[in-house]
Amino acid sequence: MKRREELNFFEKLYIFEILKGVAQTSGDLFKHLFLFLSQVVGFNKNKKAWATYEYPDEARPYADRFRGRHRLTLNDDGSMRCTACYLCSTACPASCIHIDATEHEDPEIEKFPNRYEIDTLLCIYCGYCVEACPVDAIRMDTGIHPEIYPPDPRSFIEDKETLMKRSRVLEDEGPDALFKAHMKKLKAIETKPFEGEY
């Protein structure tokens, strides 16, 4: 966490900071105005003349610290890394992680989650589960927003398979594939009436 820095003498006067802000805003205004006008007469066609994004058709790059949807990370052999230690569900302030541990057939592995579910309807996307995990088995680095599901509360519960699949897609196809699939679902919701399944 970045701590608040002390203001220096010139910053405490405020006037210089106000002038810096005005210069920045005016600079951006004239830069984009120039680009726009030059495109009208046929120049700079490959440059973007506006600062806004055509969401949802155009994705805005998220900051690295963005907390997206959860995923359960995998070992090299495709098995889940989670050891069913319950630390994430204990740390969760919304009590929305549900785990059932069971013995593993491999005697070297003590246990694993037979059931691992997150009720995303209750989740507040605080990231405490990720912080609590001692083996880096859960992450929120998918770069996509929480899901929009049809109006059935059970659809908001993300099970083990869903959370593991996200890791596979992320590894095989990258975050863009996850984003595209998410947007496809969003557009389907926007363009057709709900008929029981998206």
The DSSP line for 55-87 is TTTSPPPPPTT-----EE-B-TTS-B------H
User: Among residues 68, 71, 85, 144, which is the contact residue for ligand SF4, using CB under 6 A?
Assistant: 85
84 contacts ligand SF4 (rule: CB under 6 A): yes
132 contacts ligand SF4 (rule: CB under 6 A): yes
Helices and strands: H and E segment counts in the chain = 6, 5
Nearer to ligand SF4, 88 or 144 (CB): 88
164 contacts ligand SF4 (rule: CB under 6 A): no
Site for ligand SF4 in 8-67 (CB under 6 A): none
User: Among residues 49, 59, 126, 189, which is the contact residue for ligand SF4, using CB under 6 A?
Assistant: 126
Q: How far apart are CA 146 and CA 39, in angstroms?
A: 37
User: Among residues 68, 69, 71, 137, which is the contact residue for ligand SF4, using CB under 6 A?
Assistant: 137
Q: How far is the CB of 86 from ligand SF4 (least distance, A)?
A: 5
User: Among residues 68, 69, 71, 83, which is the contact residue for ligand SF4, using CB under 6 A?
Assistant: 83
| Residue closest to 121 by CA, chosen among 92, 100, 146, 138 | 146
Stretch that binds ligand SF4, among 23-31, 133-141, 154-162, 166-174 (CB under 6 A): 133-141
Which SS3 state, helix, strand or coil, does residue 117 take?
A: strand
| 104 burial level (CB within 10 Å; 0-12, 13-18, 19+) | middle
144 contacts ligand SF4 (rule: CB under 6 A): no
Site for ligand SF4 in 89-108 (CB under 6 A): 91-94, 96-97, 99
Q: What Cα–Cα distance (Å) separates residue 31 from each residue in 17, 48, 196? A: 21, 11, 49
87 contacts ligand SF4 (rule: CB under 6 A): yes
Q: How far apart are CA 166 and CA 72, in angstroms?
A: 8
In this structure, are residues 136 and 126 in contact, taking their beta carbons and an 8 Å threshold?
no
List residues near ligand SF4 by CB under 6 A: 82-88, 91-94, 96-97, 99, 118, 123-129, 132-133, 135, 137-138
